[in-house]
Amino acid sequence: MASDFTGLKVIWPPDGTRPPQHRHDIVFVHGLHHGSITDWKNKDGICWPAEHLSLDLSTARILAFGYDDKLSLRSDGLYEGGVTLKQARDLCFALKAQSRSDRGQVPLTFVGHGTGGIIIRCALCVSHTDPAKFESILRKTKHVMFLDSPQRDLTWRKWTEIAQGSSSVHSKGQWRIWSGALDGSSNIFDNIAPRFNITSISAGSIELPTTFEGGMGTTSTLSYDNALNVPSETRLVFGELDRQTISHLSRGTIDYRQFLGSIRSGMHRIIDDEKHITHIQTWLGRRLDDTNSDMYQKNLGKYHPGTGRWLFEHPKFRSWASSEVLSPILWLTGPEGCGKSVLCALGAERIRQRTGFPAVVYIMFAYDKPRSAYHIAAQLALQLLNHVVEVRGGVTAEVLSIVAEECEDSKKLSRVYDLIKVLISQCVVVHIFLDGLDEVGSVEGPRRRRSAQDTKIEASKEHLHSTFNLLADLANREEGTPVRLWCSSRETETIGRLMRDVKAQQIPIDGKDVVADIARYFDYHLPPIIDKANTNPSGTQLLDYLQKRVGDNFLLASILINDLGAKDLSTERGIQNIIHASPSSITEIYQQRLEEMGNSISPSMLLPWAIVSIIAFAKRPLKLSELREALTISLTSTKDSHTTNLTEDDLLSLKGRTIQRDCTPFIEFTQSRDDKIDGYLRLSHASVFYFLHGLSKGPVSNVEAIVVGPNLIANACLRYLSQTRYDSITWDYFQDHHFLTYAAKYWNQHIDEAMPDPELLQATGAFVHSPQFLTLLRVQSLFLDRQFVHAERANIPKIIDTESTTEHLADKYQSFVKEWSHALRLETSNSSSNAGIEECFWGALGKENFLHTHGLTIEKNSSFLLEMQTSDEKNSDDGTAPTYCFYDKISDDGSRVAVWRMPIQVEMLAFRPAMGLRHHICLAMNKRLTIQQQWRWIRSTYGGILSTGTQRVVGHRY
């Protein structure tokens, strides 16, 4: 074995490479008066970490860190009131460089002898306080082992034992440095200690409890300064070695076996308490998507026994689902209506029922539920978290490092990706099912504003691609937990290119297989309908005709079967009418149903039309309670641009199943799990979405009042937010206002997407100038997570700035959000109606800002903007208003602001010596004072050169 060295070096494998199955790093840091190799040599002169430990831990790489004893301390604000050793930062830099060459940091175990333990704890503190450089070190640390290392107060008596009895001046100086490093790191280290296992090892022939349970246990001679006394700590005693030889282990001894067992068990730490699990869910800022799980169950409910067998017998599927997979990514393709979503849900259920506890994640992408990259990642993480907690009993401690603190929104998505990787590492195998990839950003908006809509479509695709690429990388890697990725969609050019890039195996759905499955479906459902009607032999003719008519379209088959229940099958004529009138395509069915609804001109039929229109253009599935309020408010008259308040007596009486019946085949209702009355309403299929959005925005029937378009829901949102009860800005009881959060989140998008309507545009302008608009801001701040994350996205309609009378409202609103997003972005977990918009300096916006007037009534700290009234001030020469330069000075107690205003006529150069800066100070020519006299007057009046400003000088009254 080589001699001692400084720095970080691999001591096993001898050539410095990684083991064949490299899964762990063990870093040894020596104590005082020893070296990186000599401190770990036993009585036989063998460096036991390299020669012995490597035999018992074949998947671990052994490293040693050497340092000199010329100690120095740093105190650079890394952590409050603390100092850190230069050697600790050197260790961090060395580990970072090592991980860079390895292309990633593997889990870490640290072993520190004496003062080496202090260096390790200081290094972990540096990793915590400087995450931009060293976060991965703390995150990957699984276990820290202290061999006779002081943990609390490093007394002089303890130091003399470490320093082998030396009491020289140099030794006292060293003691102060080591003691300062230990004390300076205590607070931070106590905070991060629960994230990894800790083993405190002492020498002596005494018995100690195996684990510390909070202070109670048998008394021992293990001194307080050698133990942390934290729940994650385990205590060991080496009975065969003393303090001088505690690092000199030999393979086969009792002490070595204890050490080996501790390393093996310490590589894993499971966090199982409910408090930490809840913290992870809160940190994600999301909950499991109920509509996603509802669609999963609904698709399973559509499965008919005996169908779909061809898929699970397909060689490519069998290979994908097995351990000997040809490609970990499977792509199921087929035309619209052939049953892809049902097969996806069925495949997930088949995998879920296998032995070995495979993790199954199911994400359904839908035309009516856009998902951001963060939303997709959060749903993946939540489903994986539930599986890991259920199967493993808890999560690895590394998760705590990821979710320890809030971070910038721009970085949080990356942290969620890290969380997904860690959770996957705790699973035996992971199967991820992504259904409906072709429905992401697949619908274009109205042609008149196509460019803006196309931007949104491309953003949706980018959100999908970023997460998909992460999952594809995890699936294609050759090490770690196996990840299998299922994708199902139509075969489009964009998705085809994406799948080719990741080398996915494609299974195109064969129309013959679908036809055979539809035949089984008809054989099961059609005979009971025919028998019930006592039909003559023409029923067989009907069955043959329907099979030929639907071909390989399962959606068309299910619609026709459902429709037959309401038809007259009791006579030969009735059956012949069905045969001759049955549509041959989905579009024909939808158009036929529209004509039937249009021919029914009774007032009762106008309500289903309105429901179809609202649901078709909603941004997500609507709850029944939301739809009731939206429909009612859309039928309520307005007065002075405001809407009278909705009451429970005003609300329309609606039932989910009745709506589904009256609006078939366009709308389906899903009962809510926790509410026997409420539930979700959505379009029954993506084809309905495409059909309704493709209609002309004019009347679709001979009844002029019947229109399917985006304006109805736009008016509903605007009217709801304009209710008179919301003109009280401090009013904060929103519990039973079901449509409020939807309207608050999407109102501006609906206004922008509506067809041109002067009345709607006028009402929008009146709303943003009303006190109800500030109530909208309060609702967004309290209940809409991440609403103000992106300041560049103004949450008011962009179309209002196309009118000259609106005075650039969007720009003024956007500048307000940029300045005050920190106060508005409260997050739902810590929201309070007594904070948020009241903290903004509304007065400081100035009278020209449309938010100024109503904002003054609620601001917590009174504020103002010093503004000029220049409209009456004219220059005698050319009749124009003069240009001014301003100088301001704030009193020491902050209660007064002095402002000097001067017309700009002459420019001179001035210096501020104290700052070494050069400024242009604009001074006015005064007939009675020279420039020098004006300059002296400024200095005597304002106490020196004043900072230049503009016409917008902000002051605050406290």
pLDDT number for residue 452? 42
Instruction: With CA atoms as reference, report the closest residue to 109 among 151, 141, 147.
Output: 141
Report d(CA 62, CA 25) in Å as an integer: 6
Sign of CA dihedral 185, 191, 192, 194: positive
Instruction: With CA atoms as reference, report the closest residue to 104 among 138, 132, 140.
Output: 140
Neighbour count for residue 884 (Cβ, 10 Å): 17
Report d(CA 528, CA 530) in Å as an integer: 6
pLDDT number for residue 574? 62
Is beta strand 197-203 parallel, antiparallel or unpaired with respect to 897-903?
A: unpaired
Report d(CA 48, CA 323) in Å as an integer: 38
Q: Which two tokens mark 845?
A: 């916006």
Asked if residue 343 has pLDDT above 60, the reply is: yes
Task: Map residue 831 onto helix, strand or coil.
Answer: coil
Domains 7-207+263-269 and 274-444+453-509 share a fold: yes
**What mean pLDDT comes out for the span 736-757?**
91
Amino acid symbol at 842: W
**What mean pLDDT comes out for the span 259-288?**
87
Q: In the chain, where are the structural domains located?
A: 7-207+263-269, 274-444+453-509, 512-582, 593-778+801-811, 865-955
- pLDDT digits over 667-711, tens only? 999 888 777 778 899 998 888 888 888 875 555 555 555 678 899
pLDDT number for residue 118? 93
Confidence band of 480 (pLDDT split at 50, 70, 90): confident
H helices of 680-770, in order, are: 686-693, 711-721, 740-753, 758-768
Residue that wins the pLDDT comparison between 907 and 101:
101
Report d(CA 680, CA 695) in Å as an integer: 24
**Contact (CB, 8 A) for 507 and 347:** no
**What mean pLDDT comes out for the span 259-273?**
87
Tell me the average pLDDT of the chain.
Answer: 78
Residue that wins the pLDDT comparison between 445 and 26:
26
Residue-wise DSSP of 357-393: --EEEEEE-BTTB---HHHHHHHHHHHHHHHHHHHHS
Residue that wins the pLDDT comparison between 601 and 263:
263
pLDDT number for residue 818? 82
**What mean pLDDT comes out for the span 214-223?**
39
Amino acid symbol at 790: H
Report d(CA 910, CA 907) in Å as an integer: 10
Q: Which two tokens mark 327?
A: 């490609």
**Contact (CB, 8 A) for 665 and 653:** no
Neighbour count for residue 512 (Cβ, 10 Å): 10
Q: How many CA atoms lie within 13 A of 278 on its CB side?
A: 4
pLDDT number for residue 747? 93
Report d(CA 819, CA 822) in Å as an integer: 8
**What mean pLDDT comes out for the span 171-181?**
84
**Contact (CB, 8 A) for 710 and 443:** no
Q: Which two tokens mark 61?
A: 């790489």
Which has the minimum average pLDDT: 137-146, 170-179, 364-373, 493-502?
364-373
Residue that wins the pLDDT comparison between 456 and 754:
754
Neighbour count for residue 14 (Cβ, 10 Å): 11
* Owner of token pair 């001014």: 884
Asked if residue 491 has pLDDT above 70, the reply is: yes
Report d(CA 483, CA 545) in Å as an integer: 45
Q: Kindly tell me the number of DSSP H helices and DSSP E strands found in the chain.
A: 34, 28
- pLDDT digits over 562-583, tens only? 777 666 565 666 666 666 666 6
CATH number for the 7-207+263-269 domain, one of 3.40.50, 1.10.3470, 3.30.420, 3.30.70? Answer: 3.40.50
Report d(CA 921, CA 905) in Å as an integer: 11
Instruction: With CA atoms as reference, report the closest residue to 360 among 325, 321, 332, 334.
Output: 321
- pLDDT digits over 15-51, tens only? 888 888 888 999 999 998 889 999 999 999 999 999 9
| CB contact burial 463-491 (16+ within 10 A = b; e otherwise) | bbebbbebbbebbeeeeebbbbbbbbbbe
pLDDT number for residue 740? 93
Report d(CA 471, CA 353) in Å as an integer: 23
pLDDT number for residue 906? 44
Residue that wins the pLDDT comparison between 730 and 776:
776
Report d(CA 563, CA 475) in Å as an integer: 44
Instruction: With CA atoms as reference, report the closest residue to 364 among 621, 590, 672.
Output: 621
Confidence band of 537 (pLDDT split at 50, 70, 90): low
**What mean pLDDT comes out for the span 205-210?**
43
Asked if residue 141 has pLDDT above 50, the reply is: yes
Report d(CA 860, CA 938) in Å as an integer: 35
* Owner of token pair 């061809």: 310
Confidence band of 198 (pLDDT split at 50, 70, 90): very high
Which has the minimum average pLDDT: 49-58, 534-543, 634-643, 750-759?
534-543
Asked if residue 442 has pLDDT above 80, the reply is: no
**Contact (CB, 8 A) for 231 and 212:** yes
pLDDT number for residue 950? 37
**What mean pLDDT comes out for the span 200-222?**
50
**What mean pLDDT comes out for the span 843-868?**
84
pLDDT number for residue 152? 77
Cβ neighbors of 22 (< 8 A, separation 6 or more) are 59, 60, 61, 106
H helices of 253-322, in order, are: 254-266, 274-284, 290-301, 309-312, 315-321
Tell me the CA end-to-end span of the chain in Å, nearest whole number: 71
Asked if residue 759 has pLDDT above 70, the reply is: yes
In DSSP terms, 642 is beta-bridged to: 639
pLDDT number for residue 812? 85
The number of angstroms, rounded, from the C-alpha of 631 to the middle of its chain's C-alpha atoms is 33
**Contact (CB, 8 A) for 691 and 708:** no
What angle, rounded to 10 degrees, do the helices at 373-392 and 274-284 form? Answer: 170
Which has the minimum average pLDDT: 349-353, 634-638, 721-725?
634-638
Asked if residue 240 has pLDDT above 70, the reply is: yes
Q: Which two tokens mark 187?
A: 């607070």
**What mean pLDDT comes out for the span 599-616?**
75
- pLDDT digits over 316-336, tens only? 999 999 877 778 999 999 998
Asked if residue 804 has pLDDT above 60, the reply is: no
Asked if residue 881 has pLDDT above 50, the reply is: yes
Report d(CA 49, CA 146) in Å as an integer: 15
Cβ neighbors of 659 (< 8 A, separation 6 or more) are 608, 611, 624, 627, 667, 669, 681
Report d(CA 127, CA 196) in Å as an integer: 14
Q: 274-444+453-509 sits in which CATH class?
A: alpha beta
Q: Which two tokens mark 905?
A: 């006529």
Q: Which two tokens mark 496?
A: 């085809």
Which has the minimum average pLDDT: 164-178, 872-886, 908-922?
908-922
Q: Percent of the chain scored above 90 by pLDDT?
A: 29
Residue that wins the pLDDT comparison between 444 and 5:
5
Asked if residue 913 has pLDDT above 60, the reply is: no
Report d(CA 852, CA 807) in Å as an integer: 14
Residue that wins the pLDDT comparison between 34 and 938:
34
Q: Which two tokens mark 578?
A: 């069905």
Residue-wise DSSP of 800-821: GGGSGGG-SHHHHHHHHHHHHH
Q: Which two tokens mark 580?
A: 């001759």
Which has the minimum average pLDDT: 257-271, 560-574, 754-768, 911-925?
911-925
Report d(CA 92, CA 78) in Å as an integer: 14
Cβ neighbors of 411 (< 8 A, separation 6 or more) are none
pLDDT number for residue 733? 67
* Owner of token pair 């990706």: 417
Report d(CA 176, CA 171) in Å as an integer: 9
Instruction: With CA atoms as reference, report the closest residue to 549 among 560, 540, 538, 534.
Output: 560
Q: What is the DSSP secondary structure assignment for residue 427, as one 8-state letter?
A: S
**What mean pLDDT comes out for the span 827-831?**
42
pLDDT number for residue 730? 63
Phi and psi (nearest 5°) for 47? -75, 95
